[in-house]
């Protein structure tokens, strides 16, 4: 990482050769060039010694719960949960299953080329939170300022060069109307928005299938329309969910990660006088198979209310869609008017307003956990004042990476090197100083790429681009009061704990904090 700038062609040798052959005035200019370059190299050496002399930062608690907004659990009387990727976390076999089902449906139902059936799922290719440019057929990552993360724009499985990206978009910054719906919904698409964000974990195999098929078309010189391809892939994967539900029900242990702490969490919350409820878009039989494995045959007894097939986010936004009772014996949605919600019974559809009216649960006394920042969290916090917790499964991998000593060292040096570049960039027409500065910039570029690729070789961290928060993480932090990798991490905190967000350092405050 540390490279000496002085060597056989050092400014001293250049100076000695030139001084004998140049007028004094020119020698004074060269001497000035040398002096500036020497000071820059001295600053570099000093900074590097400082880096090696510093203690590395403490490890991040992989089981921690992190606060975006102050949350006092003493105010929370009711805990609500989504099911998929909140209570139920799936093994990689789920990604392979969804990919294979969607791929085969493209061939069998939509008559895509038979060769597509041979395309295999590539785990680790994509991360959630990416955007797909429907009109251009590109998968890319945006930061919180709607800037493209260069080096992470893919057409199929091929990364586009920075030059090609700039030719297509003319600027690194994408106009807001190009990214977000005119109706204001960041998870909706209409004619004014050209991009779709893929923000849940079920979309990761969908992105891999999309890129694989696009790559196949390009390699075989098959003409296609990017928007039709996106629609076909998305529809194929979504239409396979009922098949996926049946296959997982039949062999739930093959797909579901066991977590005995979920039952402990439920019992701890109940012992502290808290009420629990479950609202999920998944069907009853699928949820029942998973919850029976995770919690036991009596799982339903832990909840005051269980609502399946809720059709979120419509459950949170619709005004007049009645709650219906679900008969678990016949699998029929009953037509009886629901005027009360009883423990031990299963309900479906309905609206949040009805739930609040019947139960009296409102505002900050409710804490709801989900994995999708839009479908699960946005409306309940913005429109209804519920407190929210995001379950971010990828956080475990992110924290493990952050705790690596080499990564910590590289991040610290990247910061220090950036400050060196900023402090010494006013070099005017000094070619020797410019040579030193160019080497620093090259080293910084290498470090930026290394610290990105340790998270994911193609797209980097779910939470950030090179410098800025990612589009996904900024929205997550806006809609979630707290976030953690697993819901059972709450077991490490009492029911009277208050989560305090860390005081964020603004750019103009940096020097008063760290110097």
Task: Show which residues are catalytic.
Answer: 82, 84
Q: Is 82 one of the annotated binding-site residues? A: yes
Which of these, 238, 230, 246, lies nearest to 288 by C-alpha position?
246
Calpha distance 451→364 (Å, rounded): 39
Long-range contacts from 95-100, C-beta under 8 angstroms, 24+ separation: 95/121, 95/123, 95/204, 95/205, 95/208, 96/121, 96/123, 96/205, 97/244, 97/247, 97/248, 97/255, 98/202, 98/205, 98/206, 98/237, 98/240, 98/244, 99/205, 99/206, 99/208, 99/209, 99/237
Q: Quick check: 383 and 184 in contact, CB under 8 A? A: no
Kindly write down the DSSP assignment for every residue of 419-438, as one continuous string: HHHHHT---TT-HHHHHHHH
Calpha distance 48→52 (Å, rounded): 6
Calpha distance 5→433 (Å, rounded): 11
Tokens 């395309």 map to which residue?
A: 119
- Quote the tokens at residue 260: 């005995």
Phi and psi for 132 in degrees, rounded to 5?
-110, 120
Kindly write down the DSSP assignment for every residue of 378-413, as one continuous string: IHHHHTS--EEEEE-TTHHHHHHHHT-HHHHHHHHH
Q: Does 378 sit behind a cis peptide bond, omega within 30 degrees of 0 on the bond before it?
A: no
- Quote the tokens at residue 28: 């004074």
Burial label, 508 (beta-carbon count in 10 A; 0-12, 13-18, 19+): exposed
Calpha distance 443→125 (Å, rounded): 26
Most distant CA pair in the chain, distance: 103
Beta strands in 104-211 (DSSP E): 130-133, 138-142, 148-155, 158-159, 195-198
Calpha distance 388→289 (Å, rounded): 26
Q: Is 95 one of the annotated binding-site residues? A: no
- Quote the tokens at residue 171: 């600027």
Calpha distance 163→170 (Å, rounded): 10
| 387 contacts: CB under 8 Å, gap ≥ 6 | 71, 76, 364, 366, 367, 368, 381, 481
DSSP assignment letter at 201: T
- Quote the tokens at residue 75: 């105010």
Q: Collapse the DSSP code of 158 into the 3-class scheme (helix H, G, I; strand E, B; otherwise coil) and give the result.
A: strand
- The binding site for GMP comprises 84
- The binding site for Mg(2+) comprises 82, 371
- The binding site comprises 82, 84, 371
């Amino acid at each position: 990482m540390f490279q000496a700038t002085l060597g056989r062609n050092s400014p001293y040798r250049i100076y000695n050769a030139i001084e004998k052959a140049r007028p004094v005035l020119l020698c004074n200019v060269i001497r000035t060039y040398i002096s500036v370059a020497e000071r820059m190299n001295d600053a570099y050496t000093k900074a590097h010694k400082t880096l090696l002399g510093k203690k590395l930062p403490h490890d991040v608690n992989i089981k921690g719960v992190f606060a975006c907004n102050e949350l006092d659990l003493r105010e929370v009387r009711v805990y609500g949960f989504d099911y998929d990727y909140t209570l139920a976390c799936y093994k990689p076999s789920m990604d392979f299953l969804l990919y294979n089902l969607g791929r085969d449906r493209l061939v069998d139902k939509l008559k895509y080329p038979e060769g597509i059936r041979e395309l295999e799922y590539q785990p680790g290719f994509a991360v959630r939170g990416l955007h797909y440019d429907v009109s251009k057929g590109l998968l890319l990552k945006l930061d919180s300022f709607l800037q493209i993360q260069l080096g992470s724009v893919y057409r199929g499985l091929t990364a586009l060069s920075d030059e090609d990206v700039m030719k297509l978009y003319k600027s690194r910054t994408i106009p807001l109307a190009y990214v977000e719906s005119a109706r204001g919904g960041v998870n909706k698409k209409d004619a004014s928005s050209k991009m779709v964000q893929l923000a849940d974990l079920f979309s990761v195999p969908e992105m891999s299938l999309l890129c694989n098929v696009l790559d196949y078309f390009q390699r075989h010189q098959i003409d296609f329309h990017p928007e039709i391809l996106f629609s076909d892939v998305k529809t194929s994967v979504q239409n396979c969910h009922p098949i996926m539900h049946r296959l997982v029900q039949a062999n739930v242990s093959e797909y579901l990660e066991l977590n005995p702490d979920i039952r402990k969490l439920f019992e701890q919350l109940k012992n502290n006088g808290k009420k629990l409820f479950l609202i999920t878009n998944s069907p009853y039989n699928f949820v029942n198979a998973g919850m029976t494995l995770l919690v036991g045959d009596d799982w339903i007894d832990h909840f005051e209310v269980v609502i399946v097939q809720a059709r979120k986010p419509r459950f949170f936004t619709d005004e007049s869609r009645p709650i219906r009772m679900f008969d678990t014996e016949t699998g029929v949605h009953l037509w009886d008017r629901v005027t009360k919600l009883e423990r031990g019974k299963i309900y479906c559809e309905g609206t949040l307003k009805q739930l609040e009216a019947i139960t009296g649960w409102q505002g900050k006394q409710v804490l709801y956990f989900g994995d999708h920042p839009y479908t699960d969290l946005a409306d309940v916090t913005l429109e209804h004042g519920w407190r929210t917790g995001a379950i971010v499964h990828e956080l475990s991998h992110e924290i493990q990476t952050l705790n690596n000593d080499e990564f910590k060292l590289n991040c610290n040096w990247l910061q220090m090197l950036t400050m060196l570049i900023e402090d010494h960039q006013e070099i005017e027409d000094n070619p020797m100083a410019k040579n030193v500065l160019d080497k620093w910039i090259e080293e910084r570029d290498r470090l930026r790429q290394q610290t990105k690729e340790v998270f994911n070789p193609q797209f980097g961290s779910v939470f950030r681009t090179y410098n800025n928060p990612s589009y996904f993480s900024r929205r997550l932090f806006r809609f979630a009061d707290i976030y953690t990798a697993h819901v059972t991490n709450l077991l490490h905190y009492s029911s009277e704990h208050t989560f305090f967000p860390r005081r964020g350092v603004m750019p103009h405050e940096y020097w008063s904090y760290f110097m």
